[in-house]
């Protein structure tokens, strides 16, 4: 089994050394981080895999408290898979809602891009959304 230093894990995961220490302090790992005879943190490949999943959770907007809750469920072992599933399903619903909202925003922006492209190509840009006098 390959053992990795905190620096190696930081490079592999893109998580800073300070953040890795924070993750440990906040109990975001699924098991206790091992220590060498000299007291240095020693990580496994499974720790790196878990941290990469945590990156996905964080990038998708999952709160640290939810990651902590999920990690605690995993740490406690089998028998709580329904709770884990529920937590993940709730987050999936939230992400799908955000994606839908972003698609709506993209459609509006794309409409503006298309309108401006048309105005620029036709030479009719004068007066397009120029600030005018304020209504009184």
Q: What is the per-residue DSSP string for 41-73?
A: EEB-HHHHHHHHHHHHHHHTT--HHHHHHHHHH
Give the global pTM: 0.80
Domain containing 27 — which CATH number? 1.10.1660.10
Mean pLDDT value of segment 59-82:
97
| Same-domain status, 14 and 72 | yes
Please determine, for residue 131, whether its predicted confidence score (pLDDT) is greater than 70: no
pLDDT in tens, 10-35: 999 999 999 999 999 999 999 999 99
Provide the domain limits for residue 92.
Answer: 78-122
| Same-domain status, 34 and 87 | no
Q: Categorize the per-residue pLDDT at 132 as very low, low, confident or very high, splitting at 50, 70 and 90.
A: low
Q: Which of 56, 77, 98 is the last residue of a domain?
A: 77
| Same-domain status, 98 and 35 | no
Residue 43 belongs to a domain: yes
pLDDT, position 14: 96
User: How many angstroms separate the CA atoms of 46 and 31, rounded?
Assistant: 10
| Structural domains counted in the chain | 2
pLDDT in tens, 43-56: 999 999 999 999 99
Tell me the pLDDT of the chain averaged across its residues. 93
| Same-domain status, 25 and 70 | yes
């Amino acid at each position: 089994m390959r053992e990795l230093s905190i620096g190696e894990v930081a490079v592999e995961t893109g998580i800073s050394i300070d953040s890795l220490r924070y993750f440990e302090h906040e109990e975001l790992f699924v098991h206790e981080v091992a220590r060498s005879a000299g007291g240095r943190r020693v990580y496994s490949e499974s720790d790196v895999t878990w941290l990469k999943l945590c990156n996905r959770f964080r990038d998708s907007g999952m709160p640290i408290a939810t990651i902590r809750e999920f990690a605690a469920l995993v740490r406690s072992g089998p028998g709580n898979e329904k709770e884990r599933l529920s937590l993940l399903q709730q987050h999936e619903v939230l992400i799908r809602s955000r994606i839908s909202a972003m698609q709506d925003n993209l459609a509006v922006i794309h409409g503006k891009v298309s309108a401006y492209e048309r105005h620029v190509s036709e030479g009719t840009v004068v007066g397009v959304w120029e600030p005018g006098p304020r209504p009184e």
